[in-house]
Structure 1
Amino acid sequence: MKHMRSINSQFDEFDKNMTTKLEKLESAVRAIMAERAYDLSLALGELTLVVDHADYLSVMTELRDNLATHFEELIDLCGVDYSTYGEGSWAGKRFAAVTHLLSIANNWRLRVRVFAPDDEMPMLASLAEVWSAANWYEREAFDLYGILFDGHNDLRRILTDYGFIGHPFRKDFPVSGYVEMRYDAEQKRVIYQPVTIEPRENVPRIIREENYGNNG
């Protein structure tokens, strides 16, 4: 019992320290945001900051340079398509970039989300000059979601080939794609052509046919 009380005491102390650390980070982030529009939420022991696209570059730069936050490392950046979020109930902007930052000096993390203002041509400021690690992550978000990053010096596909049509992680992208690639023996080169795969019914037969298995 004495051993268990000791373990519980250690957990309580850990939770207390984590709460204090998050409170300190929250205060530092709010001070940086000042009069700028933002949303800051805490869930599952993590802080998420939502910033306006117009403030994105300046806020991220200050989060890196301000000693109160000192996020010297960008862990990752990814695109998100919210068009079917909440089973279609989402009413906000469609495309967003989500970034995870790490402060080694302060031993804390922050998630930052920013929405592109135009669903038809989603564009955000590039962070490649703030954190060099953003370079390939932004190319990935462009390749898979079609999000453009203004100021990126080499924004081209990184996972699909250069002749690929569309952005495969968009919710409305067809499973079969738009084109297929094959080697043409007559032309002696690889060519692209419209997809020749016939659509298939992916719903199990037992679900789409009420009388399946009924021999009567």
Structure 2
Amino acid sequence: MKKAFILVSLLSTFLIGCSSTSPHTSLEQFETYTGGQVMGDATSFYWVTNQSTQPHTSADYVIMGDYGWYKTDYVWSNGILREFVREGEQRNASIERVPYHVHVRFNKSGEAVYQQYRLGSKVLPIQTKQLENYQAEARSVLETVREQNDEGLRMIQGYWNGHSFDVCSEGKLVRFEFNQPLPSFATDSLAPVKSYAAFLGSNSRSNVTVKELLMLGDGSHDCVTRPSLLKK
């Protein structure tokens, strides 16, 4: 945990020069934004792709410590959640972590017309309250990313080696270099350590600053990729 505090302090204090990219825009007016948050034991990564001003697809990856994890792929139409698939692990009645899978389709009125819920080897019904929770969580992804984007924030992840930060971006590593030397105590503490880090940050053409650390791991930690659970 001490490393996390050191890394956040350093990244928040210094400006980082980078070759960054703006949200992807194509001829079809698709734009993709990222975000995330930490709430209690849960760390969340978010992705939202808009078509013009309306949500087209979205996704989340949520890690909840000992309680489990899940990833979800959502599809939207005219502002209405139309389908989602969620996979992960959660506690069962015996307090064991077991895999689960949820697949729901909605009609244009937001009513569930197809439901599938598997917990371990069991197939279970989805209660009305749980469906409402899924829909609320889907909307929360959109709202959180929109608010963070309005503040100029996005989710950035990569690998820190003590002097630079190699950013995971569409399968590539883009290097961030500090514009000024770090204090000797920082280079002595962090230079031997290759660490994975994910954070919320803001960027312009020439620099990136950090607002909040989302996750810190060792150098073997893979970059978190956007879930793709639905056939497009």
Is TM (by shorter chain) over 0.5? no
Q: When the two structures are superposed, what TM-score results if normalisation uses the length of structure 1?
A: 0.22
Greater gyration radius: 1
Q: When the two structures are superposed, what TM-score results if normalisation uses the length of structure 2?
A: 0.21
Greater relative contact order (Cα < 8 A, sep 6+):
2
Higher strand share: 2
